[in-house]
Amino acid sequence: MQFLFRYANPHEFMRLSGRILPFAAIGTALCLCLGLFLGFSAPPDYQQGRTVLILFIHVPAATMAMGVYGAIAVCSLLSLVWRHPLSDIAARAAAPLGALFTVLGLITGSLWGKPMWGTYWVWDARLTSFLLLLFIYLGYMALWNAMEDETRAARATAILALVGAVNIPIIKFSVEWWNTLHQGESIVSGKLAPVFLAPLLLMMAGYGLLFVTLWMIRIRTAILERRARTLMQAN
């Protein structure tokens, strides 16, 4: 906890993030390039043919959509319980990125579903709960923009984020709890062939590092904007 509060100071955060950013950006490019190279070099799947290529962009997007929401929920908890000064900024900065990954997960999933299931969309538990995640993101961002008082907005959005976090385990376990068209988990259970697993893990790392890079830049931007507002009031 002490570590988190050490970097709550905007000056400390700017210093640390300035050091991490180049490595995160280079890591993103390397992981994505290598992941795409291995992915496009992989043989067609015996059942899905070349559509297996959509796996390498759909799963990372969907995983990040849920992961980013988890990060927002943790930041919200830090804000509500421990009044961590940077957590509100961090949570707000992450939301549009999480919404972007959710939209990408929905679009790539639909484009994968049509050749495999014969339909772009079906109201099964996984797809419906994932669509609900997009609405929670949109509601979260709308609530931030609807309130002028930042302290009140931070409190209200933190409560919304924590309530909405209930949806994350529902998305994750929906394929086990209900009979869904969407396939079950195949990475941890070892069902995925190594020739597909390696590019998938690289793409997941690439998406994760891209999020970290953009998230840090967005937090840095918010800190600068806050400083500019203070200066404008002082002038």
Partner 1 sequence: MNFEMGMYSVYIWPAYGISAVMLTAATLWTLGTWRRAKTKLAALETRGKAKA
- Kindly list the residues in this chain that would bind partner 1 in the complex (CB under 8 A): 37, 40-41, 49-51, 53-54, 57-58, 61, 96-97, 100, 103-104, 107-108, 111-112, 114-115, 210, 214, 217-218, 220-221, 224-225, 227-228, 231-232, 234-235
CB of 48 to partner 1, least distance (A): 9
CB of 127 to partner 1, least distance (A): 16
Residue number, 6 or 50, with CB nearest to partner 1: 50
Query: Treating both helix axes as pointing N-terminal to C-terminal, what angle do 55-82 and 194-234 enclose, rounded to 10 degrees?
Result: 40
Residue 147 region, left (φ>0) first, then alpha (ψ -120 to 50), else beta? beta
Residue among 176, 191, 203, 201 at smallest CA distance from 47: 191
CB of 88 to partner 1, least distance (A): 17
Residue number, 44 or 70, with CB nearest to partner 1: 44
CB of 170 to partner 1, least distance (A): 25
In sequence order, what are the beta bridge partners of 45? 49
Residue number, 54 or 162, with CB nearest to partner 1: 54
* Dihedrals phi, psi of 45, to nearest 5 degrees: -70, 145
Question: CA 170 → CA 64, 70, 104, distances in Å?
Answer: 16, 13, 20
Contact 206/32 with Cβ under 8 angstroms? yes
Burial label, 229 (beta-carbon count in 10 A; 0-12, 13-18, 19+): exposed
Residue number, 97 or 158, with CB nearest to partner 1: 97
**Residue at 45: amino acid letter:** D
CB of 228 to partner 1, least distance (A): 5
The residue ranges of DSSP E strands in the chain, in sequence order, are none
CB of 225 to partner 1, least distance (A): 5
Residue 51, token pair as written in the block: 């559509």
Residue number, 6 or 114, with CB nearest to partner 1: 114
Residue number, 84 or 220, with CB nearest to partner 1: 220
